[in-house]
Structure 1
Amino acid sequence: MNKPRAANPPYKLPPPLFDARCKACWFTAGLLVLVVLSFWSLDLQWAQFFSAEAVDSMGSFIGEFFPPDISPSFLHKVGVAAWETLAMSALGTLLAAAAALALALPAARLHPQDPAWGRASTRMLLNALRSIPELVWAALLLISAGLGPLAGTLALALHTAGVLGRLFAEAIENAPAGPAEALRAQGVANGLVFLYATLPQVLPQLLSYTLYRWENNIRAAAVLGVVGAGGLGQLLSFHMGLFHMPKTATILGAMLLLVAIVDAASLGARRLMTR
């Protein structure tokens, strides 16, 4: 005798858009309220911004950039400044990655039984390093390092060390614990456990973070010259201050080209590491 087939279970209704017990819903609602209050509290002159007079003035100003200055002597000067900007970003990122790895170890809890005595103080140091923008670091370092790329390179290194140090520490703490626990159970020292178990697992992630920060630093290095830290930024500040608009257009084009090249190289490197 055939058994009666069970009735199909009823379809579940989608969850409500807002649930009083949903913490993410309350967070999103609070964020939306802050955005609305920001628009209400700021005196944003949208009508003036989109007025015919403002559009006409902006069009006239942009027209002064053309044609760009492409004389061989000036292109050579821009090329030297672009190379200086690239070198600042690369060296600053390299120094930051080395400092970040050294600071990430005391800032991370390597295993559940690790007392991590220096974790709180090291994380406070990392917070302090990354809370100060690169421009402020460069302005402070100009007093001791003087005008030129050294101040810009150190400014990038200090700020980026704070950013990468926190990311490296989180990656180390979240690494799978199995290989490390197996070595630790055999009596292997913590330093060797990190080198042979934890580091190989997180190294691709650390390299990806470093390349991404290099992309950001090439943009920051192009701006640091505004305070006299060398590179394209210093050239831009000089010619824009004198209203040499054709030369300014050439410098801006070099900045865009340099950022595009570094972004493409970094993206290609990250894809190779994930294969």
Structure 2
Amino acid sequence: MTAQRGHGLAGLACVAAIAIAVVASFRYLAVDFGGLFEAEARGRMARFVVEFFPPDVSPAFLRQVGAASLQTLAVSLLGTLIPTIVGGVLALPAAGRFGAVPKWLARSLLNGLRSVPELVWAALMVLAAGLGPFAGTLALALHTTGVLGRLFAESLENASPLPETALRDLGAGAVARFVHGTLPLIAPQCLGYVLYRWEMNIRMATILGFVGAGGLGQLLYFHLSLFQQAQAATVLVAMTLLVLGDDALSGWARRSLSAQAH
């Protein structure tokens, strides 16, 4: 009873601390929700939104948006595929499969890669490789390698060792034990991570365009800078369609993989 009471008091103290932190954050940031609903603020927001309609659907501009969409899609694909391979390789030592020192080195590298935001990587890559989609691809790949590598490593650590143990008892080698024992266990989860990061990278690829990394983001920044909201609206629609398409593809892939597993 004493232990349960202690756990209950600790839980209440944690909830109280979180509540105090939330209230303090609102007070510190001086958040004024009432200002959002004032007549003047509503009028300014309404006028700004109205300027985006109707979107520019002229054939020449649609061709330009289509080319930028393909560029953004290519950047997001390469910015996810490269980290899937490199992160998968680094996940093996990061999961402790080659000893303590390689584990520390791999985890330190992965932590360093993902601790630097994509925009900072993009700024560095623009300086190194110049303006364009190549810089955006490198920026996404560097950050996403850190993220996927850590997620893959955690999946390996949490995987059941029983299949590999059984294969070892049958005389299978280390590679065969991993490929036929552990890899099938973690493949669905890792695929989910990859698809989710690809969806995030589509959005991030558009943001990186604001620092000269090409694609829809650069097009959006250009037209917003010139207060050409009709053209910006078309770019936003293209961004939305890309994200929706990726979401539909991710859902289909997960359902197919789940059906095969059962």
Would you say same fold, with TM above 0.5?
yes
Superposition RMSD on alpha carbons, in Å?
1.8
Letter in 1 for 2:30: D
Q: Is the 8 A contact 1:224 1:233 kept in 2?
A: yes
How far did 1:186 drift? 4.9
Q: CA deviation at 1:36?
A: 1.5
Secondary structure in structure 2 of the residue aligned to 1:117: helix
Deviation of 1:223 after TM superposition, in Å, equals: 1.1
State the 4+ residue runs in structure 1 displaced beyond 6 angstroms. Answer: none
Matched, 1:39 2:26: yes
Change in 2 beyond 3 A, CA 1:19/1:58: farther
**Corresponding pairs, count:** 255
Q: Please name the residue that 1:51 is paired with.
A: 38
| Percent pairwise identity | 53
2:60 counterpart letter in structure 1: S
How much does 1:188 deviate? Answer: 4.1
Residue 51 (structure 2) pairs with residue 67 (structure 1): no
In the aligned structure 2, how far is the partner of 1:229 from the partner of 1:169? 30
Alpha-carbon separation, structure 1, partners of 2:214 and 2:112:
25
What is the rounded CA distance, in whole Å, between the counterparts of 1:158 and 1:184 in structure 2?
36
Q: Which amino acid is 1:169 matched to?
A: A
Q: What is the match of residue 219 of structure 1?
A: 203
Partner residue in 1 for 2:87: 100
* Alpha-carbon contact 1:133-1:159 (below 8 Å) kept: yes
1:240 aligns with 2:224: yes
3-state SS of paired residue (2:96)? coil
Greater shift in the superposed pair: 23-32 or 49-58: 23-32
What is the aligned counterpart of 1:118 among 98, 102, 109?
Answer: 102
Could you tell which deviates more after superposition, 188-197 or 140-149? 188-197
* AA in 2 matched with 1:56: G
Give TM-score scaled by structure 1 length: 0.87
The one of 202, 209, 212 aligned to 2:186: 202
Whole-angstrom distance in 1 between the partners of 2:20 and 2:6: 16
The residue number in structure 1 matching 2:75 is: 88
Alignment of 1:134-173 (within 5 A): 134-173=118-157
Q: For the pair shown, which has the larger CA radius of gyration, 1 or 2? A: 1
1:129 aligns with 2:116: no
| Whole-angstrom distance in 2 between the partners of 1:123 and 1:115 | 12
1:210 and 1:24 mapped to 2: Cα distance?
35
8 Å CA contact retained: 1:227, 1:234: yes
Unaligned runs of 5+ in 1: 1-17
CA contact (8 A) 1:19 1:25 kept: no
1:4 alignment partner in structure 2: none
- TM normalised by structure 2 equals 0.91
Evaluate the alpha carbon distance shift between residue 37 and residue 136 of structure 1 in structure 2; reply closer, same or farther with a 3 A threshold: same
- Do the aligned residues in 1 keep the contact of 2:83 with 2:142 (CA within 8 Å)? yes
Deviations 1:60-110 (A, max 9, x none): 111111111110000000000001111111111000100110110000034
1:21 matched to which residue of 2?
7
CA-to-partner distance for each residue in 1:101-134, whole Å, 9 max, x for gaps? Answer: 0110000034xxx743311221121111111111
Letter in 1 for 2:238: A
Q: Do the aligned partners of 1:108 and 1:116 also contact (CA within 8 Å) in 2?
A: no
The change in CA–CA distance for 1:214 and 1:24 in structure 2 (over 3 A counts) is farther
Q: Which whole-Å CA distance do the structure 2 matches of 1:220 and 1:86 have between them? A: 11
